[in-house]
Amino acid sequence: MYIYLPIKIIPSNIADEQTHSVFMDAFIQNNRLDHVSQVMGYHPDYLRNFLTTQNYLLREDGPLPYDYRHYIAIIAAARHHCIYLVKLHEQEFLLRNGNPEWLKGIAYAPRKIQDLYEINKILAHRPWLINKEHMMKLLKTPEPWSLSELMHAIILLTHFHSLCSFVYGCGINAELDIDGFTYSRSSSSSSDTDSNSENNEVGETSNHSHAQQMSRDEGVGLEALMEKMKKLNEMSLEETSQEELLKRFHSVEHQSAEITVPNSKKSTPRSELMRYVLDDEFSYTDFVTQDKVNEVPTFRACDYSWDDHGFSLANRLYTDIGNLLDDKYTMAANMTYYTMGDNREVDTSSFRRAIWNYIHCMYGIRHDDYDYSEVNQLLERNLKAYIKTLTCYPERLQKKDYDGVMREFKHSEKVHVNLMIMEARQQAELLYALRALNRYMT
């Protein structure tokens, strides 16, 4: 099911030379200018990094056959019922001479791919459950994965799980040339049809002005947020004990668990999706409320971090992928134009850091050098709910969820938030998988 949200795509004939250039690159790589690229085009530097990484994963030399790569993309996207990505990669799979029989469902795929399904399911919803036994099972089966093949597969799975979050967050629907795609709305959003069409005809400025008025009417705006950011940027962590920082982390964890994400009424998942899905009832559960909390302790980033551990392991098993992922994470997390709404010369670093670390917190990952009280100061409850939905249950996102947050932000700024959600989510999944693989290897 798709609910179209009012993010405008950047037109292909945009006059901006930098954006036009990266659109040409996207067209050359993909033989199309897809809507994902046109939305990411608000941030052309990031888009170039994204395209380079995705092209490397899908089309450059690597451990996995090309048909396997696109089939893994299909089963990853199907976990979140993302028909857009499923249909897109079914086409790509056939173009890469994939066996059409496999498209009848996961049961028709080779045993080697079927064996991958358990970690596909766990990484998509509860990555903290991944352990070295899962890795051993894949590496020691009658049709074993090699270490490099498994690394490639894990990165593909995490890439497409997180890309589902971006697709839903920006309301991306299919290009007209994707075979078999039909567009549907939920009953809850059908009344928004006219307003959606109108939103896609007007520019950022008019949408932004209307949002400003809505925020003023509710007594909520960017001024208070910017004042909080300014104060936080001037504060020092040195005065806070580790015990107090841990307490603040657990407080945010428990508050996140209290945010409920409604299981919105939706049509029955389409058969062409469900043939790739096993155990559809398996979904995210709050890390802090897990039944066996003592068996799965908090993941301390200082014990296994991307910078110090994951990056090098990824590069060792799959040449250069660590560099590409690192560039992409850094760009999404650090990208800034020093603006927020109509305000200029704004240091948004604390806001960006709060979003990234809040997502990791929902997955049980704690950064020892971060004061989690900043999350509560900078992220309103409805924004936390939006982030949680888009990170953990992207298929449940509704138009009202999107409309209810960041009302004074421009389209480009909302896209940036969605990019951070996507990248922080992928990094969290990947950290658990790489740690488990490292434990198997040592």
What are the residue ranges of helices labelled H in 106-240? 111-115, 117-125, 132-139, 147-169, 193-199, 204-218, 222-234
In the DSSP assignment, the letter for residue 235 is -
Q: CB within 8 A of 194, min separation 6: which ones?
A: none
CA distances from 283 to 82, 253, 263, 305 (A): 15, 18, 11, 25
Report residue 62 CA to chain centroid gap.
Answer: 23
In the DSSP assignment, the letter for residue 203 is -
Q: Is 343 helix (H, G, I), strand (E, B) or coil?
A: strand
Report residue 355 CA to chain centroid gap.
Answer: 12
In the 3-class helix/strand/coil scheme, how is 116-130 assigned residue by residue? CHHHHHHHHHCHHHC
Asked if residues 332 and 419 have their Cβ atoms less than 8 Å apart, the reply is yes
Of 82, 164, 170, 392, the active-site residue reads: 82
β-pair type (343-344, 339-340): antiparallel
Place of tokens 């009302």: 407
Tokens read off for 399: 């138009």
H or E segment and range at residue 169: helix 147-169
Q: CB within 8 A of 366, min separation 6: which ones?
A: 246, 249, 298, 299, 300, 301, 360
For residue 329, which of 410, 232, 414, 428 has the smallest C-alpha distance? Answer: 428
In the annotation, is 392 catalytic? no
- CA–CA distance, 435 with 58 (Å, rounded to integer): 24
Q: Is 126 helix (H, G, I), strand (E, B) or coil?
A: coil
Asked if residues 306 and 427 have their Cβ atoms less than 8 Å apart, the reply is yes
Tokens read off for 92: 């790509």
- With vertex at residue 8, the alpha carbon angle to CA 259 and CA 79, rounded to the nearest 5 degrees, is 45
- CA–CA distance, 262 with 101 (Å, rounded to integer): 37
- Burial class, 233, CB count within 10 angstroms (exposed 0-12 / middle 13-18 / buried 19+): exposed
In the DSSP assignment, the letter for residue 268 is P
* Residues taking part in catalysis: 82
